[in-house]
Amino acid sequence: MTSDSAETATPSAESDKAAPSQKAKAMKETVEWIKALAIAVVLVVIIRSFLFAPFMVEGESMHPNFETGERLIVNKILYKFREPDRGEVVVFHVPEQGRDFIKRVIGLPGDTIKVQGDDVFINDVKLEEPYIADAIKQAQANGQLYNTESDFPNERITEATVPEDTIFAMGDNRSNSQDSRALGYISDKELVGRAEVIFWPLNKLSFIKH
């Protein structure tokens, strides 16, 4: 009897020991998951705040190269290390309107800008713009100007030389773009970053050419 009793008590004792061990293991796994999620959240905050951010195109000012509703990834860190280059597509903030704009860098500090019809001159040299060359040809083939909106300098912005620490930016859709011809020069402090990737819609997934 004593022997049988001892034999039946042994599995029960082992089971009692196993139960706390399983609970401890489950608790440890839960804590690890919480840590992983916390780290992921912190990384997302850091990446979005300092490195990259999403941006949605609204309006037709960058047509034909960007369409309303497209979503982009903006590189926020690049211009912390270097100045913008001509031809780059940038996102910048307009404090007076409380929103961000997407345009293309045309003029750099010290450049003298002249926009006359479909021609843009930098320091009296015509700027080649392959990103809208086909659109200009099509408009002119129809007997029209591609830029019917505004020349530069104009009655709003009379100074033709780009000041230090600013850029002159225009939309690719020259007849439907609120840009430096109306807003004036864009301060480096207002630059959000350079547009790098179209990630939505998926059939437009691509790196942005500058």
Domain count, the chain: 2
Average pLDDT across each block of 10 residues of the chain; the chain has 210 residues. List them in order: 46 54 80 77 62 93 97 96 97 96 98 97 98 97 94 94 98 97 97 97 93
Check if 209 is active-site: no
Q: Is the pTM of this model over 0.85?
A: no
82: CATH? 2.10.109.10
Residue 160 falls within a domain, yes or no? yes
Residue 61 falls within a domain, yes or no? no
Active site residue: 5, 25, 103, 126, which one? Answer: 103
User: Which residues is 97 bridged to in the sheet?
Assistant: none
Cis upstream peptide for 163 (omega within 30°): no
87 and 188 part of one domain? yes
Check if 35 is active-site: no
128 and 167 part of one domain? yes
DSSP strands (E only) in the chain: 52-56, 71-75, 89-94, 99-107, 113-116, 119-122, 125-126, 166-170, 186-187, 191-200, 206-207
Residue 100 falls within a domain, yes or no? yes
Task: Choose among 201, 139, 205, 209: nearest CA to 174.
Answer: 139
Dihedral of alpha carbons 189, 207, 65, 152, sign = positive
114 and 185 part of one domain? yes
Q: How far apart, in Å, are the Cα atoms of 189 and each of 70, 140, 176?
A: 25, 37, 25
103 and 149 part of one domain? yes
CA distance 42 to 197: 23
Active site residue: 61, 150, 177, 180, which one? Answer: 61
43 and 98 part of one domain? no
